[in-house]
Amino acid sequence: MHKEFLMGNAAIARGALDAGLNLVCGYPGTPSTEVLETAAKCNDGRIYVEWSVNEKAALELGAGAAYCGARSMVTMKQVGLNVASDPLMSLAYIGVKGGMVILVADDPGPISSQTEQDTRTFAAYSKLPCFDPTSVQEAYDMIADAFAYSEKYHTPVLFRPTTRVCHGYASVTVRDAAERQTNQPGGFVRDPAKWVIFPRLSYQAHMNIEARNVTLAEEFSGYAHNVFTPAADGSRRGIATQGISYTYVQAALAGKPAPALLKIATPFPFPEQLALGFLRSVDEVLCIEELDPVIERELTYLCGKHHLNVNIRGKLTHDVRNAGENTCASAAHDIAAFLGQAQPGADSPDAAQPALPVRPPVLCAGCPHRASFYAVKQAMKGKKAVFCGDIGCYTLGNAMPLDMVDTCLCMGAGVNITQGIGKIEPDTACFAFVGDSTFFASAITGAVNAVYNQANMTLVILDNSTTAMTGHQPHPGTGRTMMGEIVEKISIEAVLHGVGVKTVETVNPLHLEEAIETVKRTAAQDGVKAIIFKSPCAVLIKPDQPAVIDPEKCTNCKHCIRQLGCPGIVVQDGKVTVEQALCTGCGLCAQVCPFHAITAGGVN
Amino acid sequence: MQTNILICGVGGQGIVLTSKLIAATAMAKDMPVMSAETIGMAQKGGSVFSFLRLGDDLHCPMFPEKTADLIIGFEPAEAVRMLPYLKDGGKIVLNTHPIMPVTAALSGTDYTGKEMIAYLQTKVQSLAMLDADAACKALGSPKVLNMIMLGAAIRQNVLPFTVEEIEETMRRTVKPQFVEMNSKALRYE
């Protein structure tokens, strides 16, 4: 054993590798991405690593490996589990041979997600065991346990850290290379009665699952990371908590005699016996947890089942906020209110404080998406149009002054949302914007649907040749895999032609005039047509010389700023100025300036 | 004994790297360390912070308001944004060079950073200021901003390290040809 300073996600990957991992796959998504990236970085040739095309593909791949007796891990963010839920629900019935951990990172806040869904609730719904670590160290330690339980009970298990555990760093104790476990898969053994799902098999499997979960609940009551600490303050009050909130509770109670504490690391199946010991020691409980009131509901249920006169408080009783993430401060506040203590003093905002500049996330200087949105905006000026966006950097096209995202729902949704709008409002020019990685992940089916069902729309592919938002992962169009192979790039153009899109135009959005003309020409046609705006992500290319503003010609009209909102152009001492450190010389502003006052390396 | 440090600024300034250097130095001294930072939507141009804790009995990587021993502010407005975290008597090291947000350029509001500095001067007793961007120019490299800030932070005697100990970590992490430049930056006054 030795100590290392690791990010939570890195600790999870290291823990899995040390537990004999054979295969890891997933789809990138904040806050889960670094798990797979770390595994790939640490791969000494012993494991197979893959960014799959989406979470459903990844889960099926992981299942196949586990059918062979491999230890497999599948990584995704919480909304990715929705995509993978079809194979997941069935796999819960079929089970596995080798250990299989489905790592789903939840995002209370949410900080960078569409929903505040709780994978613990999904665990109960799918009847799968769930592990919920409270710290980076515990994440490392528990991942090995997750594999062991999975193998012992022949079931996939869910492992759900939250953002603050995933992205927190800590000095943690990890195993030395020599202490690393290995797992030699026995291979796939043909057995249709086991691996082929049928109603009769499912009935029997359902019976087995329910019985297994009763056994597991008993076992989890003795699991080392589920902890009941009796009251040290002589009271009959208790706090039940989980995840990172447990550390907030510890911090709030540090140095004081504490009430009883129940820490739940396996929310499903719920460790009933352990919780009963806790409940019998108290008259009143405060539940501090993030996302759904999972522990609170379980404890309330147990009080009914066992006729315990204990008052359970939390989100359901409005003692704790229902949405958003907890903090040290919120936990301290809720605990003080519960214990009837004075509230920790919070300063009211200082009236003397000058107004702070807001720094919302924006498309980077030189981002080709800015040019793409601008080209479409110019081409459709004055026409009735709808612009359906999607998930990725380009969601930021919603910000002023571009203001080019009318809808955004989930991965790939824009294609058929715009189709739906067009069916009800045929006089609207319907656009769907989708990135290259998102196209492969979940827009191809939508495109087939639109073509087949005679939609009238323009599909705009923003192809920057990477998965930019999550940190530049490769995808089928990049010609690279996570095993380091150089493979044939899958052509978006060929895919679109293949599914029946007749008109597919490819244009560099930074050639503004040509881009605008392409949009006008393409959008005027009937049926489903596509424009591929192809230009690499600005973060990945060597920047060109920054733009130069000719002070003789510049009238300070700020047209460039008001049209484009590029962080590379600022006003300094009243003058429009190029921010040297940010400008990539993409040349878009030079093409927009009405006085031809800007020259830039790239285009002009 | 615990030390809470908050490093804040704007995406692209090297906040996260600074945090990692301090953490690695703590690890080399066998000192427990935890940190947490903004990742994800806050790419270039967004507000970025890193919470860093050194010492025994650490529970969570984040710490509550009024408990930071030191704020290393890479940008005036970002230091003001994080000021509620400074404990009474805590110290701030501030880069006085402002970074204009896109929104200010759009709406025409004239953010200069001077109002932020004036405000900090009224609120913070121990405020060490330097124009680290000017220092970068003087040293001839825009890439040593974080080393200049870290060097200035060390001189506040809040971090339990010497310049030499930070330098040792730096030697292990940067390419040999950049060691001399970074050493100069650490000692820039």
Give the integer Cα–Cα distance in Å for B19 and B35: 8
Superfamily of domain B2-187: Pyruvate-ferredoxin oxidoreductase, PFOR, domain III (3.40.920.10)
> With 80 as the cut, is the pLDDT of residue A278 above it?
yes
Could you say which of B10, B106, B122 has the minimum Cβ distance to residue A561? B106
Task: Give how far A580 is from chain B: nearest CA, Å.
Answer: 11
Could you say which of A3, A5, A353 has the minimum Cβ distance to residue B119? A353
As to burial, measured by CB atoms within 10 angstroms (0-12 exposed, 13-18 middle, 19+ buried), residue A204 is: exposed
The complex scores an ipTM of 0.92
Q: Give the mean pLDDT of A340-369.
A: 84
- Among residues 363-382 of chain A, which lie with CB inside 8 Å of chain B? 364-365
Q: Read off the pLDDT of residues A245-274 as tens digits, 9 standing for 90 and up.
A: 999 999 999 989 999 999 999 999 999 999
In which order are the strands placed within the sheet that holds A503-507? Answer: A385-388, A429-435, A457-463, A528-534, A503-507
> With 50 as the cut, is the pLDDT of residue A241 above it?
yes
Q: Calculate what percentage of chain A has a pLDDT beyond 90.
A: 91
Q: Is A329 on the interface with B (CB under 8 A)?
A: yes
C-alpha R_g of chain B: 16
Contacts of B150 (CB under 8 A, 6+ apart): B18, B21, B22, B72, B166, B186
Asked if B36 lies within 8 A of A164 by C-beta distance, the reply is yes
- Among residues 7-26 of chain B, which lie with CB inside 8 Å of chain A? 10, 12, 20, 23-24, 26
DSSP state of A84: T
> With 80 as the cut, is the pLDDT of residue A16 above it?
yes
- Res A349: pLDDT: 76
- Best residue of B60, B74, B123 to probe chain A, by most A CBs closer than 10 Å: B60
Output the CA torsion sign for B149, B154, B155, B159. Answer: positive
Q: Is A250 on the interface with B (CB under 8 A)?
A: yes
pLDDT band at B122 (very low <50, low <70, confident <90, very high): very high
The chain B residue lying nearest A328, using CA atoms, is B64
Give the integer Cα–Cα distance in Å for A157 and A147: 8
Could you say which of A248, A359, A562 has the minimum Cβ distance to residue B47? A359
Minimum mean pLDDT range among A526-535, B41-50, B61-70, B167-176: B41-50
B83: phi then psi, degrees, rounded to nearest 5: -55, -35
- Res A604: pLDDT: 39
B100 chain-A contacts, CB cut-off 8 A: 357, 570-572, 579
> With 50 as the cut, is the pLDDT of residue A300 above it?
yes
Which parts of A380-430 fold into alpha helices (H)? 414-424
> With 90 as the cut, is the pLDDT of residue B13 above it?
no
Q: Is B88 on the interface with A (CB under 8 A)?
A: no
Q: Facing residues of B51 across strands?
A: B6, B36
Q: Is B39 on the interface with A (CB under 8 A)?
A: yes
A:B CB pairs within 8 Å: 147
A30 chain-B contacts, CB cut-off 8 A: 39-41
**Interaxial angle between packed helices A33-41 and A8-18, expressed in degrees from 0 to 180 and rounded to the nearest 10:** 50
Q: Read off the pLDDT of residues A38-96 as tens digits, 9 standing for 90 and up.
A: 999 999 999 999 999 999 999 999 999 999 999 999 999 999 999 999 999 999 999 99
Q: Is A193 on the interface with B (CB under 8 A)?
A: no
Alpha carbon A414 to its chain centroid, in Å, reads 18
Task: Give how far A318 is from chain B: nearest CA, Å.
Answer: 23
Query: Which of the two residues, B107 and A130, has the higher pLDDT score?
Result: A130
Count of residues making up chain A: 604
Asked if B62 lies within 8 A of A562 by C-beta distance, the reply is no
- Res A534: pLDDT: 97
Q: Read off the pLDDT of residues A571-594 as tens digits, 9 standing for 90 and up.
A: 887 889 998 878 999 999 999 999
- Do A459 and A444 meet the contact criterion of CB atoms below 8 Å apart? no
Residue ranges covered by each domain of chain B: 2-187
Task: Tell me the average pLDDT of chain A.
Answer: 95
pLDDT band at A98 (very low <50, low <70, confident <90, very high): very high
Minimum mean pLDDT range among A145-159, A177-191, A542-556, B98-112: B98-112
Could you say which of A111, A169, A350 has the minimum Cβ distance to residue B35? A169
Q: Read off the pLDDT of residues A330-342 as tens digits, 9 standing for 90 and up.
A: 999 999 999 999 8
* Helix or strand (DSSP H, E) at A229: strand A227-229
Asked if A31 lies within 8 A of B47 by C-beta distance, the reply is no
> With 90 as the cut, is the pLDDT of residue A459 above it?
yes
Give the integer Cα–Cα distance in Å for B64 and A238: 23
A561 chain-B contacts, CB cut-off 8 A: 105-106
- Res A603: pLDDT: 46
Q: Read off the pLDDT of residues A381-418 as tens digits, 9 standing for 90 and up.
A: 999 999 999 999 999 999 889 999 999 999 999 999 99
pLDDT band at A469 (very low <50, low <70, confident <90, very high): confident
Q: Read off the pLDDT of residues A420-454 as tens digits, 9 standing for 90 and up.
A: 999 999 999 999 999 999 999 999 999 999 999 99
- Best residue of B31, B59, B169 to probe chain A, by most A CBs closer than 10 Å: B59
Q: Read off the pLDDT of residues A129-184 as tens digits, 9 standing for 90 and up.
A: 999 999 999 999 999 999 999 999 999 999 999 999 999 999 999 999 999 999 99
A255 chain-B contacts, CB cut-off 8 A: none
Give the integer Cα–Cα distance in Å for A102 and A92: 12
- Res B131: pLDDT: 94
- Res A323: pLDDT: 97
**Interaxial angle between packed helices A512-523 and A368-379, expressed in degrees from 0 to 180 and rounded to the nearest 10:** 50
Q: Give the mean pLDDT of A203-207.
A: 96
Q: Is B133 on the interface with A (CB under 8 A)?
A: no
How big, in percent rounded to 5, are the helix, strand and coil portions of chain A?
40, 20, 45
The chain B residue lying nearest A250, using CA atoms, is B59
